[in-house]
Copies of this chain bind each other. A is one copy, B any other.
Amino acid sequence: MLVLVGLGLGGADDITVNGLKMVQRCSEVFYESYTSIQAHGFDLTVLENAYNKKITLCNREKIENDTDRILDLAEKTDVCILVVGDPFGATTHWSICQQALSRKIPFQVVHNASILTAVGCCGLQLYNFGQTVTVVSWTDTWKPDSYFDRIEANLSCGAHTLCLMDLTLGERTIEGIMSASWSVNVGVLDFCRNKPEYKPPAFMSASAAAKQLLEIIEMRRQRGAVTLLKETSRCVGLARIGWPDQKIVCRSLAEMSTTDLGEPLHSLVIVGSTHPLEEEALRMWQ
C-alpha cells in the first residue's frame, strides 16, 4: 500500500491522528523535502521522535526518478510519503498517485491543512481569492513575469491573489554530485539520508517578492503600460502561518518591500475589492 500523508503547516503535531496511525503502520516512511520544506528550524529527528519511526529524507528528483522503485516497495509492504501541507498541493504527488492506481497498488491520501486555505486567518474571505501564483525568483538573466498577469487578471475582477514564494534550491554540492548514484541496500532504497547533497535552500521573503513586483510595475510603465497593481496597492504579508510566532501585516506594496517578517516561510496576498468585514480585519494588521 502507498499512503500520502499531509503534514499540514509543518509542526510534528500538525499531523492528523489518522495520518499518525498510517505512519506507525507503514514499514517504510519517506519525507518529501522539496515541494514545501519545513523551514522553520526543521530537524528530521524531531519528527522521528514524535512519531517513533525512522524516516528517510528524499528530494523531489528522487521521488520523480524512482517512482517505480517506490511503487515496487509499495507492492510488497506499506509505504508512506510525508508531505508538508496537503498532499495535492504539488503535481509530483498526483503523478505518483496516478501511477499507483494504474499499477493497482492500494493507495490512500490523508489530507491536511495548506497555506491555500490557512491564509483565511488574515480575515480575507477565501471565496474572494482568484488564482494562486508563485513569485518566481529572478536571476541576472532569467526574469519571468507571467505570474504578474494572473495578479492583474484577479484584480480586474476584484479578487485577492495569494502569492506563494519561490523556493530557490541551492546548487548541488560537490559531495552531492559525487554521491548521486543510487544503491539498493538490503532491499531498502538509499535516499542519501542526512547527506548534504544540496546547499541549503533559500526562501524568498515577502519583502523580496514585493520588491520584484515593484520592478515589474516599473518595467511595464517604461513600456507605456498601465498596471492595476501599483506601489500604493494594499497587500498582506504572512509569515510562519500556523506556528506560535506567526506574523501578519497589512502594508502598501512599497512599504512591504522594506518590511522584515523574520524567519520563513512567507506568503503575500495582493488585496482586491473588499467587503466591510474584510476591511475590519485588515485594520488589525496595520
CB pair B129–A131 under 8 Å, yes or no, is yes
A66 CA to B244 CA, complexed, in Å: 28
CB pair A88–B17 under 8 Å, yes or no, is no
A117 CA to B131 CA, complexed, in Å: 13
Which residues 98-127 in A have Cβ within 8 Å of B in the complex?
Answer: 98, 101, 109, 111-114, 116-118, 120-121, 123, 125-127
CB pair B111–A8 under 8 Å, yes or no, is yes
Q: Is A20 close to B, CB under 8 A?
A: yes
Q: Is A237 close to B, CB under 8 A?
A: no
Which residues 9-49 in A have Cβ within 8 Å of B in the complex?
Answer: 9, 11-18, 20-21
Contact stretch, chosen from A89-97, A135-143, A208-216, A252-260: A89-97
Q: Is A189 close to B, CB under 8 A?
A: no
With a CB–CB cut-off of 8 A, which chain B residues contact A274? none
A159 CA to B131 CA, complexed, in Å: 8
**Whole-angstrom distance from the CB of A83 to the nearest CB of chain B?**
12
With a CB–CB cut-off of 8 A, which chain B residues contact A14? 16-18, 111
A127 CA to B116 CA, complexed, in Å: 10
CB pair A86–B129 under 8 Å, yes or no, is no
Interface centre among A117, A118, A134 (most CB of B within 10 A): A117
CB pair B18–A13 under 8 Å, yes or no, is yes
CB pair B113–A112 under 8 Å, yes or no, is yes
CB pair B13–A95 under 8 Å, yes or no, is no
Q: Is A178 close to B, CB under 8 A?
A: no
Q: Is A1 close to B, CB under 8 A?
A: no
**Whole-angstrom distance from the CB of A280 to the nearest CB of chain B?**
7
CB pair A123–B111 under 8 Å, yes or no, is no
Given known pairs A88-B118, A113-B113, A117-B86, the reply for A98 and B8 (CB within 8 Å) is no
CB pair B94–A16 under 8 Å, yes or no, is no
With a CB–CB cut-off of 8 A, which chain B residues contact A91? 125, 277
CB pair B88–A126 under 8 Å, yes or no, is yes
Q: Is A153 close to B, CB under 8 A?
A: yes
Cβ-defined partner of A118 (8 Å) among B111, B128, B129, B133: B111
CB pair A121–B95 under 8 Å, yes or no, is no
9 A-B interface contacts by CB (under 8 A): A8-B112, A8-B113, A17-B20, A86-B118, A95-B277, A111-B117, A111-B118, A111-B241, A117-B117
Known contacts A8-B16, A88-B117; 18 further A-B pairs (Cβ under 8 A): A6-B113, A8-B113, A12-B17, A13-B17, A13-B18, A13-B21, A15-B16, A86-B113, A88-B118, A94-B120, A94-B125, A94-B277, A98-B280, A98-B284, A116-B126, A127-B132, A128-B131, A130-B130
The 8 closest A-B pairs by CB, nearest first: A88-B120, A111-B113, A13-B18, A13-B17, A114-B117, A111-B118, A86-B117, A116-B117
